[in-house]
């Protein structure tokens, strides 16, 4: 699957920085898989047949949910692109229903980064771009938001 930015580059335009949705979208799936593993270990360590069946049935249900969350997070990361070129900022989400945001670099007035404590620890956050006459756009939960801001503001 070709990247969106590669399809829309203008002559003489180069990609300077690319980032993506942060891997933290996998955290619910990781939590589910840890619970599945714990239930499978518990089912092997108990002698009560009813408890074994309950652990196996519960782990199967949680595994299905975990698989759904894993695929959903993977697909979100696959279909989200955020790039800075030498001329503009481009953000694309979605596959069938696509949403894009583009702003010329010379129209960028300010770039704000919002990170929670967990965001600081795991290096993700929200970036809000305020454009002159272009409005305000927030890009949520991207990896390395400070480096992204620096790529926009460094000219």
pTM listed for this prediction = 0.81
Confidence of residue 40 (pLDDT cuts 50, 70, 90): very high
Pick the closest to residue 155 from 89, 82, 104, 86 (CA basis).
86
Other beta carbons within 10 Å of 40? 15
CA 110 to chain centre: 23
**Residue 82: beta bridge partners?**
19, 91
To which residue do tokens 């894993």 refer? Answer: 70
Confidence of residue 155 (pLDDT cuts 50, 70, 90): low
Tens of pLDDT, residue by residue over 44-71, are: 998 889 999 999 999 999 999 999 999 9
Tens of pLDDT, residue by residue over 117-151, are: 999 999 999 999 999 886 899 999 999 999 999 99
């Amino acid at each position: 699957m070709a990247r969106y930015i590669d399809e829309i580059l203008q002559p003489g335009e180069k990609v300077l920085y690319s980032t993506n949705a942060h891997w933290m979208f996998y955290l619910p799936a990781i939590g589910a898989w840890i619970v599945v593993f714990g239930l499978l270990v518990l089912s092997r360590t108990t002698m009560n047949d009813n408890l074994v069946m309950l652990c196996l049935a519960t782990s199967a249900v949680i595994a299905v949910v975990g698989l759904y969350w894993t695929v959903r997070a993977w697909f979100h990361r696959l279909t989200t692109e955020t790039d800075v070129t030498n001329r503009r900022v481009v953000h694309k989400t979605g596959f069938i229903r696509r949403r894009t945001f583009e702003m010329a670099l010379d129209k960028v007035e300010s770039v704000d980064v919002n990170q929670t404590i967990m965001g600081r620890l795991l290096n993700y956050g929200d970036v809000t771009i305020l454009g002159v006459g272009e409005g305000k756009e927030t890009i949520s939960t991207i990896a390395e938001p400070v480096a992204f801001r620096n790529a926009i503001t460094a000219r």
